[in-house]
Amino acid sequence: MAEAILGKSYGDLLTSIGVINEDQLNRAMAIQSNKGGDLDAILVDNEIAELESIQQGLSKHLGIERINIGDATITKEVLDSVPVRLVHRYQLVPVERENGCLKVATADPSNYAALDDLQFVLKSEVEPLLAYSGDIRKAIKQYYGIGSDTVDSLVEEEGVDLESDTLAGGDGDIEELSEDASIIRFVNQVMSEAINDRATDIHIEPFEDMLRIRYRIDGLLYEASLPPAIRRYQAAIISRIKIMADMNIAEKRLPQDGRITIRRGGTEYDLRVSTVPTPYGESIVTRILNSSGELYNLEKLGMDPASYEVWEKMIHRSHGIILVTGPTGSGKTTTLYASLAELNRTDVKIITIEEPIEYQMDGITQIQVQPKIGLTFATVLRSLLRQDPDIMLVGETRDQETAEITIRTALTGHLVFSTLHTNDAAGAIPRLIDMGVEPFLVASSLIGIIAQRLVRVICPHCKAPVEAPKEMLLALGYMPKDYEGVTFYKGKGCEECKYLGYSGRTGIYEMVPVTQEIRDLAIKRSSGADIKKVAMQQGMLTLRQYGWARVRDGLTTVEELLRVTQEDVHLEKSISEEMAKDKDHVIEGEFEL
CB 349 within 8 A of CB 387: yes
Q: Average pLDDT of 515-531?
A: 95
Of residues 94 and 566, more confidence is placed in: 94
**CA angle in degrees (0–180, nearest 5) for 474-476-481:** 55
CB 106 within 8 A of CB 92: yes
Predicted pLDDT of residue 162: 44
d(CA 416, CA 403): 11
Predicted pLDDT of residue 151: 67
The packing angle between helices 428-435 and 400-411, to 10°, is: 110
CA neighbor of 505 nearest in space, from 547, 567, 476, 470: 547
Reduced to 3 states (helix: H, G, I; strand: E, B; else coil), residue 263 is: strand
- Candidate from 58-67, 461-470, 487-496, 569-578 with smallest mean pLDDT: 569-578
Predicted pLDDT of residue 588: 47
Predicted pLDDT of residue 7: 53
Question: What does each C-alpha distance from 292 to 25, 301, 354, 495 come to in angstroms?
Answer: 36, 19, 18, 26
- List 96's β-bridge partners, or say none: 103
Predicted pLDDT of residue 2: 38
pLDDT exceeds 70 at position 155: no
Q: Give 458's Cβ-side CA count (13 Å radius).
A: 22
Task: List phi, psi (to 5°) of 13.
Answer: -65, -45
Q: Average pLDDT of 327-350?
A: 92
Residue-wise pLDDT tens digits, 199-236: 999 999 999 888 999 999 998 999 988 887 788 889 99
Q: Average pLDDT of 157-168?
A: 51
Residue-wise pLDDT tens digits, 235-271: 999 999 999 999 999 999 999 999 999 888 778 898 9
Q: Average pLDDT of 497-521?
A: 92
Q: What is the pTM of this model?
A: 0.77
Residue-wise pLDDT tens digits, 417-444: 999 989 899 999 999 999 999 999 999 9
Task: List phi, psi (to 5°) of 152.
Answer: -60, -40
Q: Average pLDDT of 335-342?
A: 92
